[in-house]
Structure 1
């Protein structure tokens, strides 16, 4: 545990030995691992494999709701059952409520992939926290994220939103109390307990912001087109056998 606080990088997409070592060097106590297009059982298995006494790896899902014209991302912690991508926002939020999952709003109002004022207000009873900062929130996006937290008087969180290993630990959410396991981390995000958003402050952090933003351009163009349209059904497609037809009524593809 860090000095007088427990630090969690609340949203990372990458996980391997180097990521774990980097997280420890940067003073993290836990990371929330929520890769794109991976099924929950796979995420859980990998999170358990890389957790140890020095670093907790908490499994989570960033669910892609809506079609490509109306995409809204929602970060869910504490899921008990798999939830697919490419379902309606309403269907996803209903399922999160059924599972008593902890709902976080990542990168609010960012581009066309985020919850904004209207959605956060509509689901204010379910939203546990709104992201106040990550390295991809450049310029006005960062200001709007902080304003959203203030306007809704909701708990903040921060993350590296790391899509490349070097970004892990650039941003964190700090809690006052030590959290003993992944369930305790999930409960802390759900509870009304003190927390702070911290980040590294240096020229290197500014450079890392640009690296992450550049990666976003690739991820949301050719990579997504290749995944969705050229390679067939994704593991998190709602009509995948894993979901047993439970989400057919809210599937958008």
Structure 2
């Protein structure tokens, strides 16, 4: 029997024809597209390009707050204005609240890039949901995430966190309601709309998860070195001209 409601892969980094084909084959109704280091207008344009009657693509931003050694990531849906990376955590939270965005915590307590449980607890009233299953993470890391959400009584969400197209649809969040627009999806994450976090199982799922986890090494070595040392004009640099100086006083570099 088909699963009722709306199946949302709530965080993917890649969006192309293969991603869309994979999502539809897996029965996903909507993707949340939040690539690293891309400005909001570019994300919105690409999301619109790949949305159709069978698959809704919701533009979003995973905002890097703090510096490289002490990053705290926030996943924001429903943005109306661009927001840069590498500003203080409090400045990012204030800007997301100003825009009335849905504020989600991806991969909680993971390495040095995530909010810890005490930090989530301290800002619980400002946070709309915590990721409790991420295909890229190991089993004990997802178990810890579920425990954090349970202990803090915060809504959950799950995602493939696909950086590779083939991982799309390996995990998703099922909302009981039928959500057909971006606004519907944002509102569902901002409220206590009933939901379930679901993921695939079996050898294939574990293989895709292992490949995604291994991909972390590439992301955090050569790609990071290139971005930190070789490219001086990141699109989400807070001093970029498109931010019109609004974040100069809260930039961490």
Under a length normalisation based on structure 2, what TM-score does the superposition of the two structures give?
0.98
CA apart distance, 1:221: 1.4
Q: Which residue of 2 aligns with 1:96?
A: 96
Q: Which residue of 1 aligns with 2:137?
A: 137
Q: Does 1:68 align with 2:43?
A: no
CA apart distance, 1:233: 2.1
Q: Which residue of 1 aligns with 2:248?
A: 248
Cα deviation, 1:100-135, whole Å, max 9, x if unaligned, reads 111000000011100111221221111000000111
Q: Does structure 2 retain, via aligned residues, the 8 Å contact 1:134–1:158?
A: yes
Distance 1:201 1:35 in 2: 26
Q: Does structure 2 retain, via aligned residues, the 8 Å contact 1:228–1:234?
A: no
CA apart distance, 1:182: 1.0
Written as runs of structure 1 = structure 2, the 5 A alignment for 1:74-89 is: 74-89=74-89
Q: Does structure 1 retain, via aligned residues, the 8 Å contact 2:136–2:162?
A: no
Which stretches of structure 1, 4 residues or longer, exceed 6 Å deviation after superposition? none
Q: Does 1:29 align with 2:64?
A: no
Q: Which residue of 2 aligns with 1:216?
A: 216
Written as runs of structure 1 = structure 2, the 5 A alignment for 1:127-206 is: 127-206=127-206
Q: How many residues align?
A: 252
Aligned-residue RMSD, C-alpha: 0.9
Q: Does structure 2 retain, via aligned residues, the 8 Å contact 1:9–1:160?
A: yes
Structure 2 unaligned regions, length at least 5: none
Q: Helix, strand or coil: the match of 1:234?
A: coil
Cα deviation, 1:126-176, whole Å, max 9, x if unaligned, reads 100000011122132112101001011110000000000010000000011
Q: Does structure 1 retain, via aligned residues, the 8 Å contact 2:170–2:199?
A: yes
Q: Helix, strand or coil: the match of 1:151?
A: helix
Q: Does 1:12 align with 2:4?
A: no
Structure 1 unaligned regions, length at least 5: none
Distance 1:173 1:8 in 2: 5
Cα deviation, 1:151-210, whole Å, max 9, x if unaligned, reads 111100000000000100000000111112111011111111110000111100000111
CA apart distance, 1:222: 1.3
